[in-house]
Amino acid sequence: MAIAPDTSPLPLLIPEAELRAYNTLGVTARAAWFASARSEAEVVAVVREAHKRDLPLLVVGGGSNLVLQGDYPGLVLHMATQGRRKVREDDQHVWFEVAAGENWHQLVTSTLAEGYSGLENLALIPGSVGAAPIQNIGAYGVELDSVFEELRAIDRQSGVSVTFDRAACAFGYRDSIFKSRLRDRYVITHVTLRLRKQPCLVLTYPALRDALAGVPEADLTPQRVAEAVCEVRTSKLPDPREIPNVGSFFKNPVVSADVYQRLKADFSGVVAYAQPDGRYKLAAGWLIDRAGWRGHTEPSGVGVHPRQALVITNSGHASGAEVMALAERIRASIKTEFGVDLEPEPTVVGW
């Protein structure tokens, strides 16, 4: 399909740009071309320029869910768009349209400070707002789709803006249509969220309940829940600014009841959570820990964090290929020992 001409302003295109600052794993890689867009019009201009030059286009935000296996031969678009506006409200809810380049945790803290709830369990998740629907980010019993209303995205083929409602996004566990059928087809520019004016706290996650066990009921506010979430996360997950990582490297695998019963019989203490459909979600961190990987370090500096086996770290400035080599060894080990397949959670470019 031919892309229509446009006069939108094209931001500066930088050749042979270093990408280490744009991925929290600290991988050194270069992009043939790089542009940072600060408005929707600039996003459209970059999409059209990539189409005109027949260049592959990689969109990055905070880079907290990205593994670069090598240099990128196309154009990297960094989403630097900012802004948030209230689009409507009723007696119970308020709807905010948020630019894709906004920092997710800053959005959580600012909306809580204004008295709105719904995002408290998702505090301290790294990354940008535009990446949140792609991954259907979730933590401590809450996923993005519970507060999601719609998003706006630019079609890479036509340059036209398209709106997706909740159903069209086909959300699943750490999944959406943008990771499957529509992968690399759209650039998300805005996300609209529906937040509550009165709190409805979700305290089903065991670690979160434990962290709030001594808090009087009158003090159980969304702000206090967010603080507890931050405390739990910092106790388990390393700060990528100090130890490069992309958070949880593997999804928690969902298995049949028969597989769970087999594992339960063969391995005492296996951690799993019953699902509404009768299947079980296994704790990938428990599997990796039980297989002996926690605290393991490679000569390159790539390793498994000593406090959280789900986290692969890169303290030695290793390449993305070295990171994925360790991930593959872990996956093979889990398959051999438990008969369970692990799926990487981050987006892997060039793998």
**What digits encode the pLDDT tens for the residues 248-306?**
999 999 999 999 999 999 999 999 999 999 999 999 999 999 999 999 999 999 999 99
How high is the pLDDT of residue 350? 80
**Quick one: average pLDDT of 235-256?**
94
Please report which residue ranges of 114-195 form alpha helices under DSSP H.
132-135, 166-169
3-state DSSP assignment of residue 121? helix
Task: Mention every residue, 6+ apart, whose C-beta is less than 8 A from residue 205.
Answer: 121, 140, 141
**What's the whole-model pTM score?**
0.90
pLDDT above 90 covers what percent of the chain?
A: 92
The structure tokens 């599997």 sit at 287
What is the average pLDDT value for the chain, to the nearest integer?
94
Following CA atoms 175, 80, 229, 192 in sequence, which dihedral angle do they give, to the nearest 10 degrees?
A: -60
**pLDDT at 4 exceeding the cut of 60:** no
Q: How far is Cα 219 from Cα 224, in angstroms, rounded to an integer?
A: 7
Q: How far is Cα 103 from Cα 204, in angstroms, rounded to an integer?
A: 26
Q: How far is Cα 218 from Cα 234, in angstroms, rounded to an integer?
A: 25
Residue numbers annotated as active site: 174, 248, 345
Angstrom CA distances, 161 to 28, 157, 190, stand at 33, 11, 10
**pLDDT at 351 exceeding the cut of 70:** no
**pLDDT at 8 exceeding the cut of 80:** no
State CA 260 to chain mean position distance.
27
3-state SS of 212-242? CCCCCHHHCCHHHHHHHHHHHHHHHCCCCCC
**Quick one: average pLDDT of 300-325?**
94
φ/ψ bin of 265: left (φ > 0), alpha (ψ from -120 to 50), beta (otherwise): alpha
Element (H, E) at 312: strand 311-314
List pLDDT tens digits, range 99-147.
999 999 999 999 999 999 999 999 999 999 999 999 999 999 999 999 9
**Quick one: average pLDDT of 37-57?**
96
**Number of Cβ within a 10 Å radius of residue 299:** 8
Spatial strand order in the sheet of 14-18? 14-18, 30-37, 72-79, 57-60
How high is the pLDDT of residue 272? 95
List pLDDT tens digits, range 197-231.
999 999 999 899 999 998 999 999 999 999 999 99
Which of 33, 30, 36 is closest to 9 using CA atoms?
Answer: 36
Q: How far is Cα 186 from Cα 158, in angstroms, rounded to an integer?
A: 10
**pLDDT at 3 exceeding the cut of 70:** no
